[in-house]
Amino acid sequence: MRELLLLISTFFLLTPVFAFQSDTLSVAKSAIVSDSFYIKNVLIECHQKTIDRIILRELAFKKGGKIAKASIDSTLQREASKIFNTGLFVVTDVYPIPIKGDTINLLVSLVEKWYFYPVPIFELADRNFNEWWQQRNRDLSRVNFGIRFTQQNFRGRNETLKILVQLGFIERIGFEYKIPYINHKQTTGLIFKIDYVQNKNLAYRTENNKLAFAKSENVLRERFWTSLGFFKRNAFYNTHQFTTGFDYQLIKDTLFNLNPDYLVGNRRHQQYFYLNYIYTHDSRDMATYPLKGSLLNFSAAQKGLGNFDDLSQFEVKFVAARFFHLSKPEAKKPFFYSGSIRGFISFPSYRPYSELRGFGYSGDFIRGYELYVIDGQHFGISKNTLRWRLISTRKNLSKFMPLQQFSTLPIAAYLKTYLDVGYVKNSFVGDSNKRLTNTPLWGSGMGLDVLLYNSLLWRFEYSRNRQGEWGFFFGFEADF
């Protein structure tokens, strides 16, 4: 009996302690929960074709998850940017919808693009608009025309089917099919390409750092290439791609006599298999015109895999870029900075002219040198840009535009100033091209960028280069 009384008294003495601890844990748990919202459901509106799993694949927050209250605005803005960068939508927004207490729904509001584009081709064949305007005397014969059929978001699964039929300056037939996800986890995809090109007008040499063209009534060069690539995307921002392909070129006597070194080993034909690996980390808020985030792209390629191949060439290329705000996000006219470096190395040093690249192609240029080609086996570029946003708004065009995909017009404009520096190394440079090769180069200036529909970019720039040359330049591609 005595032991029973002792046990009962001990129970009543310890009960308040346990109750206090339980209440403390409950309060602590409540405090933790109150720092986050519970996501009851994820709702998607205004999408007709895209299947839900393609959209939900981009979201880090799922049904039944939690999201921190303190950073919910910036977090949902980042989630909206990830969906936008799929290229499937004109407008993407993600909103919290309160339900009760700390419980919310996430609403993904979308405006889908127009996915089928039988677009007529009318484009310049030259490297950029400035070369065509100033060096080619605005010659309309240097125009490609035809039609490009693009079915984006094929079957609602973000698959892309492209068929190209092109005539004019460059005659080309092409086919491409891309499947972003072929497995249940939506991490692995593939892309298949095949192209055939004929040239009757072709750059065969670089003289005074400008392209020299050969022209004939007959075909000067035929080229065929095909590739099959697999890419893996385990995380939101990281992609690995492995590609194997085959490239074949045949040149006629006219071109061979002008430049016997156009193809490898003074040949009239050249063929090789190749392997290519690409790693991409892309956390940019907008791929077309990024203002925040980062980009890292690294590629390594081996051209020529055995005795069957005419060429054996190894090359590495990388691009690293950073974008961020210099002022508070709520500022009406904020400042932005972007900085990037890119480089290219190849071995062995000898490269036939058809494989020789340097400054002047794609994004590999210094602003102020758009009119020049600077060939080499290795190069490096650093670009720096300061931007000031003039306007950023959305216009409702529904009164004039019946198609929903074009009824909302996002428009933005930025003033900017910039400084680019770079260097091209060429071990076999000719006398006529020595002025800009194996020497430091720089270009600087001011400009205006206009962005429509978050995808159409117009660049207006006034630049000066190291040689003291001033010029006005116009472009359509990103400048980082």
Q: What is the mean pLDDT of residues 374-390?
A: 96
Please give the Cα distance from 130 to 134 (Å, whole number).
6
> What is the tens place of the pLDDT at every residue in 28-75?
444 445 688 999 899 888 767 787 877 888 888 888 889 998 888 888
Q: What is the pLDDT of residue 405?
A: 62
Does position 3 have pLDDT exceeding 60, yes or no? no
Please give the Cα distance from 201 to 170 (Å, whole number).
8
Over pLDDT 70: what percentage of the chain? 91
> What is the tens place of the pLDDT at every residue in 143-197?
899 998 888 777 777 788 999 999 989 999 999 999 988 887 778 999 999 999 9
Least confident of 317-331, 392-406, 418-432, 446-460: 392-406
Q: Which of 338, 217, 363 shows the shortest CA–CA distance to 284?
A: 338
More confident residue, 295 or 357: 295
More confident residue, 78 or 21: 78
Question: Is 344 in contact with 300 (CB distance < 8 Å)?
Answer: no
Reported confidence tier of residue 282, pLDDT bands at 50, 70, 90: very high
Helix (H) or strand (E) holding 353: none
Reported confidence tier of residue 329, pLDDT bands at 50, 70, 90: low
Q: What is the pLDDT of residue 415?
A: 97
Please give the Cα distance from 157 to 401 (Å, whole number).
27
One-letter amino acid of 327: S
Q: What are phi and psi of 256, to 5 degrees?
A: -60, -40
